[in-house]
A and B are shown apart, each in its own frame.
Chain A
């Protein structure tokens, strides 16, 4: 059976969202969208409209007989074509399209019967527009010219991003459930260094949201998109349910991701660290050095204290330290800054609404919109299956945008971390003071420029 989740349809106002900003849980998309129910296809694009079939009768069939036949096949109502005895039939609840077609096709008088296919606009050359209903609310992808970027590179499962975080909702295991919009996403064998087992399930919400930015299943007519959706993910749990971990555990997680092999290959090319701490650690620094020496790019969050000190390990010279900008490309107030900052990416600001069409407020807060489970439901009921689309902000959310770009650059043929870092920094759009500065680093990442500079697939 197809799983069903909540479908979110726009209806409310910014005032409603602002009133909810005091809640512990993130602002979720259905705080600004009305909830209804739809069924989700298990894989790929939905090819047909639910509950509808087309049937054409032979010319000799009277309308009354046609009506009886359609009713018998499960039809609730029908719309006749203006150009012949052809009908669009709406099926009654409980009737499957396949059953209705089987019945109609055996009836005398039926010329043909078929499902009502979904027509799609052709893609613009060099662009790729995903069919995910809430993609239009992902201003943070549009800011990066994502559709042109996908026209160049979408990623491939030969390149994996290890997400060292609170885990990912990637499997059905015990009380944990796989997030529905990870339907087609490929996951490598993960590791839980908090509970010491092989099931790196998320018990916080943070890691799932971060992973979703990198490789949410895309163009599947469900929810939102992921920036490097063709790439694989590896869940590595190094933070507990409160989002807290340690130097030792983070070092272990880095080494696990770097040493992982599959079919004789090392698929992990990028490590995403939407985490950090106040002080430096030799064990983490050495683990990062080993990763970079093995050809793995490490991307880390600059930190959310809003101070002039970049968190560790984002401050390491061989790590890409990522700060955050809001929907206006201004430095987000919480984003740390300093000489070690490499680049900035969209991290959002829930207090602002600048990202509607033409800069007009759209009634939605400017957070990064991705899927995760409701942390309140998890805390209150121990359930990790209450999935929604949440607006979340922070350098944690900016970091996976850069990790995704790094993964796409690997797919484009760059294999060394210093070259990946240089490609990202040298093609960034300068913001703030001219040239590199401590507030924005080298500037806002420009995936199209980075990808066009390398490889043949332009």
Chain B
């Protein structure tokens, strides 16, 4: 009886897969997958419009080979951010909807 009770208790305490806590590693993996999906969507969006990976017409050449690296400051710009700035419609098509920040008046 005692053994049965402990087994039942252990079963009840064991978390189901969907209740598993999200670890840092799995968070990173899912973020990476989401990023890959977003990049694929953007690349397809650009290809349909005959634009290069930076959102400029195919056949564009750049100082240093890329518009993402600023040789003057050493700073790198994220490619999707760069494309979205030039083409907000690509963002609307590909960027995952972000939850609006909670306003202070929200109860």
Contact = CB atoms under 8 A, between A and B. Distances in A.
Interface of A: 21-27, 165-166, 204-206, 238-239, 243-250, 274-279, 281, 301-306, 311, 314, 334, 336, 349-351, 367, 375, 390, 392-397
A301 B64 contact: yes
Contact of A250 (B61, B69, B76): B61
Given A21-B74, A24-B72, 4 more contacts: A26-B73, A276-B65, A277-B59, A392-B71
Chain B interface size, as a band, is: 20 to 34
A395 B56 CA distance: 21
Nearest to A367: B74
Interface of B: 52-54, 56-76
Nearest to B72: A26
Contact of A303 (B57, B59, B60, B66): B66
Given A25-B72, A279-B52, A395 B65 contact: yes
A239 B61 contact: yes
B66 A396 contact: no
A27 B66 CA distance: 20
A303 B64 contact: yes
Nearest to A333: B76
A278 B60 CA distance: 8
Contacts of B70: 24
Nearest to A395: B64
Nearest to B58: A279
B65 A301 contact: yes
Contacts of A275: 61-65
A18 to B, nearest CB: 11
A396 B52 CA distance: 21
Secondary structure at chain A's binding surface: helix, strand, loop or mixed?
loop
A174 to B, nearest CB: 22
Nearest to A238: B61
A65 to B, nearest CB: 60
Contacts of A26: 71-73
B71 A397 contact: yes
B71 A276 contact: no
A334 B76 contact: yes
Contacts of B67: 243-244
A24 B73 contact: yes
A278 B64 CA distance: 11
B72 A302 contact: no
29 contacts: A21-B74, A26-B72, A205-B72, A243-B64, A243-B67, A244-B63, A245-B61, A246-B59, A274-B63, A275-B62, A275-B63, A276-B62, A276-B65, A278-B54, A279-B58, A301-B65, A303-B65, A303-B66, A304-B68, A334-B69, A336-B65, A351-B74, A367-B74, A375-B72, A392-B71, A394-B64, A394-B69, A395-B64, A397-B71
